[in-house]
Chains A and B, each alone.
Chain A
């Protein structure tokens, strides 16, 4: 990559302070951040949730969301002071010279209008070109974004187009007025890994072709490594450090950045395989679905004591449906589930209390998995009271023990409501609730995917510790292969309701593979800035 810092400066933000309002009081979200961007340069903005990435990105357009305000600093865009400019002046820049690409294209396209109408809105309203010209231009950009049927796709409504295609159409829309700057706000976060590759490649190409400057916001280090010339790391509204991409990846200076880098390499040695013993859970030839369609087709695998089986696949592959069959929420059409060698009744309502106790579940969204109106005492205490008959003092002691186990101070937390906890703490409560039943088997459904990397790491370590302490068997549903590396002993790869490959983890990460596993594995971004280029070349070579 050529050094773009030699080019003229496009955007300068100095000592930016942004406040957000909650309960009638204003508090700072961005606490004095500087940012400089040169023409044609791509700056990666990374940080965990709450770091203020999006807020800062939007401020580069002189825009704040409702309930936020810019309280200090200067924003200079190509000689225009965005803070003192009038609202109509700022409006004149937005969409024309500074464009925005949102996280969820499906939600950010207006469902009532066709794609091409939304494409031509900015150029026509800003007086850049006429309607007919804009439509011709749209087709050209759709072609460059490698959308299928570029001539027709614009005449569809958003709900008629897939997520990956919409995200590319949105990038094309942002390009409509050939802006000087585009803010990409987590454009691939909502996509599956295999779809993500195409979108990343398309975005990178078009930005390079038009020499557009960009601010690329993401929480995924490997993604930003592919896209950015420079990387800036944010933590709770403050800049941690900034450097060009290669320097940042090879030698981060700050401890926080180093810890982010370290999470990516978390891995544990697999437990030795068990062959003879009776598995704790055995899923046998399960076919299940809703209505007339089969979501699962002949799915089978075993889970042994003290072992973690990771079930991997993209959205719609049937991972969660498998969990619903095991828990008895969705009785299968064919096949059965054995527990300790005994068949479980298909419907949870027919299971005994002890059968229910033995298999517990931890959910992806701790927010919806914990009743917001109950205190931790009851949330954790209820299973212990119900299954183990604990009362009074014994129950209290048990709840406190459980809180200690998940590393929360009992006296401080026992009477809190879920809303008074952080995301990671909530997830720990979900774990404690499962443990309270003293189960043999726990299903973990994407338990770390809603969490920031560092917090997720803590949860994974906790789960690991608890497993050896209580001899638990885990079924770990995830779409993230880094998590698989970190926790699994055995891997089951699912696609379209079928198991395409299964085996020990160490075997799974070495070829030869089933073609789908191959695609899935190769699509996971790596921390190497040349990874995407190399991958695309390899794939092109294979095709040819």
Chain B
């Protein structure tokens, strides 16, 4: 019976999510104009839902101090208090307000993941485009280095590096950005390689264009669509990786509010049938699902336009 009830609520949640996505698309399409509006009108509801969720997360992250009832690290009561009106989601293993921590987690976890992705992306795509455009020894050297780095599983590699360099936020960002930039490099390079063989690149080279203009005007605009989609995918990857590391206790360190460590710290409750520790995990999952939905739509559009 309880299984059926759960199924019912899942169905309600999905229906609600789809309706919200649909509404969001309608509203977004009516306030935008031209190509954007046309794209939004033909977008699937899943993409609408994804965009809505991403927007909400950004708002929560920006407005965290306004939304959260308590301070991030403030101990407000006994440990593991149940849900009630003063503590919406109860308290955690140290007696901090769970809801507050969850809100601040949006800022910390998502913020750090975003920074890391941006860094990984800048390094990876610049080097990837350069390797493909210049070719020769530069491509050889960079590609071989990346091959080697990619031959070590990323979670294992980051565990190794974190053991050595310690687990501060800065090292965390640098380590993961470095490891992840190899994946971006691969993609940027292969996308650029497909563009570099085009006649218009040959024409630009024969015209005597310099490397900078070649990359920024001739190659980058044509590589943008797959790279933007890749940014979304990379973000999911980095986000999940940081959460996993935090969950393992070697990522974002206490007392910073972070979803991965919140799951770990309160995991004991699950065996008592309390869903609270699942909430931060769910928050992670919801954002990745949302980003993936949007990326899926963008990739679909990109491939559809090609035909």
Contacts and interface: CB of A to CB of B under 8 A. Distances in A.
Interface of A: 23-24, 327-329, 348, 351, 353, 356, 361, 363, 365, 368-374, 382-383, 386, 433, 437
Contacts of A437: 207
Interface string B192-211: 00000011101111111100
A487 to B, nearest CB: 21
Contacts of A369: 198-200, 203
Contacts of B199: 363, 365, 368-369
Interface in B171-191: none
B200 A383 contact: no
Nearest to B222: A373
Contact of A353 (B42, B200, B208, B218): B208
A1 to B, nearest CB: 42
A371 B208 contact: no
B35 to A, nearest CB: 12
7 contacts: A348-B205, A361-B206, A368-B199, A370-B200, A371-B222, A386-B207, A386-B208
A386 B217 CA distance: 14
B218 A371 contact: yes
A382 B218 CA distance: 12
Given A23-B42, A361-B203, 8 more contacts: A329-B206, A348-B205, A356-B206, A368-B198, A369-B198, A371-B218, A371-B221, A386-B209
A364 B137 CA distance: 31
Interface in B198-234: 198-200, 202-209, 217-218, 221-222
Contact of B221 (A23, A329, A373): A373
Given A369-B200, A370-B200, A24 B42 contact: yes
A373 B217 CA distance: 9
B210 to A, nearest CB: 10
Nearest to B304: A23
B191 to A, nearest CB: 14
Interface of A is mostly: loop
A373 B198 CA distance: 13
A326 B300 CA distance: 42
Most chain A beta-carbon contacts within 10 A, residue among B42, B202, B204: B202
A369 B202 CA distance: 8
B205 A371 contact: no
B296 to A, nearest CB: 18
Contacts of A383: 207
Interface of B is mostly: helix
Contacts of A24: 42
A356 B221 CA distance: 25
A131 B196 CA distance: 48
A356 B198 contact: no
B76 to A, nearest CB: 54
Contacts of B204: 371
A449 B158 CA distance: 55
B217 A327 contact: no
Nearest to A445: B199
B207 A382 contact: yes
A348 B209 CA distance: 11
B200 A368 contact: yes
Contacts of A363: 199, 203
Nearest to A383: B207
Contacts of A327: 206
A419 to B, nearest CB: 9
Nearest to B219: A371
A431 to B, nearest CB: 13
A80 B135 CA distance: 60
Contacts of A361: 203, 206
A160 to B, nearest CB: 27
Interface string B231-253: 00000000000000000000000
Contact of B217 (A329, A356, A365, A374): A374
Contacts of B218: 371
Nearest to B38: A23
Nearest to B202: A329
A55 to B, nearest CB: 16
- The 10 tightest CB contacts between A and B, nearest first, are A373-B221, A369-B199, A371-B200, A363-B199, A368-B199, A356-B208, A368-B198, A353-B208, A369-B200, A373-B222
Most chain A beta-carbon contacts within 10 A, residue among B203, B204, B205, B209: B203
Contacts of B42: 23-24
Contacts of B221: 371, 373-374
Contacts of B205: 348
A363 B206 CA distance: 13
Contacts of A328: 206
Contact of A356 (B200, B207, B222): B207
B220 to A, nearest CB: 9
Most chain A beta-carbon contacts within 10 A, residue among B198, B200, B205, B217: B200
B305 to A, nearest CB: 9
A368 B202 CA distance: 10
B242 to A, nearest CB: 34
A477 to B, nearest CB: 14
A537 B199 CA distance: 44
Given A368-B198, A371-B218, A372-B222, A348 B203 contact: no
Nearest to A354: B208
Nearest to B307: A67
A373 B208 CA distance: 20
Contacts of A371: 200, 204, 217-218, 221-222
A363 to B, nearest CB: 5
Nearest to A327: B206
Contacts of A372: 222
Contacts of A356: 206-208
Contacts of A368: 198-200
Contacts of B206: 327-329, 348, 356, 361
B203 A433 contact: yes
A351 B206 CA distance: 10
Contacts of B208: 351, 353, 356, 386
Most chain B beta-carbon contacts within 10 A, residue among A353, A365, A368, A383: A368
Contacts of B202: 329
